[in-house]
Each structure stands twice: as structure tokens, then as C-alpha cells.
Amino acid sequence: MRKLTKQVKISNVVIGGNNPIAIQSMSNIPSDNFDGIVKQAIELENLGCDIFRIAVPNLEAIRVIDLLKKNVKMPIVADIHFDYKIAIEAANAGFDKIRINPGNIGDESRVKAVVDICKSKNIPIRIGVNGGSLEKHILEKYKMPTAKALFSSAKYHIDLLEKFDFNNIVISVKSSSVKTMIESYTMLSNSYDYPLHLGVTEAGTFRTGIIKSAIGIGGLLLSGIGDTIRVSLTDNPTNEILAAKDILKATDNYKSGPNLISCPTCGRTKIDLISISNQVEKRLLAIDKNITVAVMGCVVNGPGEAREADIGIAGGDKEALLFKKGKIIRKINEENIIDELFKEIEKM
């Protein structure tokens, strides 16, 4: 059962409560390349990104918000380190959420100044604790970035915001250790009702990053923890969105769009199933139907093993059988498999 958290509104997206788990990504375009950032935002939004974050390292970088607001509907988050003046300006300029750690911006009058502007604009703050940049006093106490250390850091920042009666908060406690992040998010979830932004930080390249994120984020989601997710990859952010969708689908948290199942192939396979599956997966990106599509290697076991699929193909010798709900519809020549399958999908 999903833990019911407090609902937090980020412009037109609400996270927490029973709201769908929102997918986030972050721009990797240099912060002075406004056209590049906007182009990437449009691409990610079209792919299914719900919340878009950009680094705002200086006041100049804030100006991109006007262009972004003209071109995309999804909320835009300003990622700010240390400088409370940038946070205030970003909130004034129209950013929809601020990611900043209040304990790192100096004395409490600065925290209050950020809280005041966020309150007046109804903008949430995400406290983004990261195992690689814990506060000195936390590291001195715990020696290592353990789960308890991450949790204590989050508590330290939460206390500062709550002191000023601010609770429009989202929290993340990311670690590059999957085990540590699972433990620290679980501790947070047991102690607070604020919505949680899940992620494994410095997760790695395409392959290892997806594996770590799938275990860390997916494992937490299966325990009912998490309200928004970001898969961090040393790769094109488009792959972060696709991986996030797949994690949500695999944990039964994503009900929209097709689900592909395909067999691992074996000695019975006589068609090029790997290439066919990859092509089908790509073409399914353009399909907006809640269907399960199966791509199976043989007619002996394929239709039966893919019984739960709405539609699928099972490979024969230079041909394939097209089936719907386990029932065979017709034979297709090998070269037409993909086109014929998609003709049927279009009709559904």
C-alpha cells in the first residue's frame, strides 16, 4: 500500500497523496545556452517528463524561465546551491519550485527571506540531501554518509523550514549506494508525511545507472514509498524519462501507454527476434494505448506464454503468427511482421 503523503502543488502538477508518481529529469545543457535548454525541455516533455529541473548557478541563468514558460507546460524547478539571493530571484522570476538546502545558505535571516518569498508565491522547496555533500557537523558525528547521516541532514534542513512555519516541502536523500538510499528514504517515510523525491545519485552510465535506479527507486515504490522519481544517468536525459517510465510500469505505477513483453529467445527461435523487439519497442513510443504487446520467439510456446498480452507475434520459420489475447489471427511473412503488427495495434 502506498503511504499517503501530504500533497504538494508544483504549478499544474500535484505530487503526494494519491496523485500519480511524477517523472522528473534535469537539463544537462550549459546554463547559458537558453535555446538548447528550451529545445531539451520540449523534447523531454513530449516524451513524458512531468517536472523539469535546471541548474541556476548565477542570476543570469534565471532569465531562461521566460522562454521555458512560453514553450512548455510542465513545472520548472531551479536547482540552487548556497546562494539565497538566486533563490529569491528565481522565485520572483516565475520558477515553480526551488531546490535548495536551507542549512547551507547562511544565517536564519536568509532562510526566512527564502521562506517568505516561497510562501507568498506558493512555491514548494525541495530539500535535496546528497551523500556526497553532507554538512560538516553531520559528517563529524556519523563519520560516513550512512543512512542515519542522510536522515539527520534532512531533519536539520526540515527543522529550519518548519521553524518559520513552512511545510510546503518535498524531500530527497540520495546516495550512490542503493542500500543506503533505501534505508534513509525508509527512515524518512517512517518519520514524516512530506512527499518524497526518489533517486540514486551518481548512479552511473546507461546500464549500471538503470540497474541501480531500478533496484533503489523500484524497491522503494514497491514498499509504497515515493511520490516523484528521477533516474540519474550519465547519458542523454531522454533515457532517464524512458527508464523512469519503465520502472513505474514494472512496479504497477504507470497505467498509460503500451507495455512490451518479449521472450529471451532460445534454440527454437528462427526469426531475428532481438532486432524485431527493439524496433517494436521504438515504434511503441508513439502509441498512446494501454495495451500489452508480446514479441515471442516461437509458435510452440509463444502465444501461451504471452497469454496476458492483448496482441503479439510468435515467430515461425521465416514467418510469424499474429495473435490477439492468445488466439491466432493470421500468418505474416517475416519481412512484414512489424508493419502488420502495428496495423493491428492502430485498429485497437
The contact set with ligand SF4 (CB under 6 A) reads 263-266, 268-269, 296-298, 300-302, 305
CB of 277 to ligand SF4, least distance (A): 11
CB of 269 to ligand SF4, least distance (A): 4
Using CB atoms, what's the residue nearest to ligand SF4? 297
Give me the residue label for grid cell 510542465.
74
Cα 96 to chain center, whole Å?
Answer: 18
CB of 261 to ligand SF4, least distance (A): 10
Closest to ligand SF4 by CB, 131 vs 302, is 302
Beta strand pairing call for 259-262 and 228-230: unpaired
| Sequence letter at residue 53 | R
Closest to ligand SF4 by CB, 298 vs 338, is 298
CB of 305 to ligand SF4, least distance (A): 5
CB of 32 to ligand SF4, least distance (A): 51
Closest to ligand SF4 by CB, 118 vs 263, is 263
What is the C-alpha to C-alpha distance for residues 275 and 281, in angstroms, rounded to an integer?
Answer: 10
CB of 301 to ligand SF4, least distance (A): 4
- Return contacts of 321-324, CB within 8 angstroms, 24+ apart: 323/294
CB of 324 to ligand SF4, least distance (A): 17
The C-alpha angle with vertex 126 and arms to 121 and 132, in degrees rounded to 5, equals 150
- Return contacts of 90-96, CB within 8 angstroms, 24+ apart: 90/56, 90/62, 90/65, 91/117, 91/118, 91/121, 91/123, 92/117, 92/121, 93/62, 93/63, 93/65, 93/66, 94/65, 94/66, 94/69, 95/56, 95/62, 95/65, 95/123, 96/10, 96/11, 96/123
Closest to ligand SF4 by CB, 241 vs 322, is 322
Closest to ligand SF4 by CB, 268 vs 331, is 268
Contacts of 200 (CB under 8 A, 6+ apart): 174, 175, 176, 178, 181, 209, 212, 213, 216, 217, 232
Closest to ligand SF4 by CB, 59 vs 266, is 266
Closest to ligand SF4 by CB, 198 vs 299, is 299
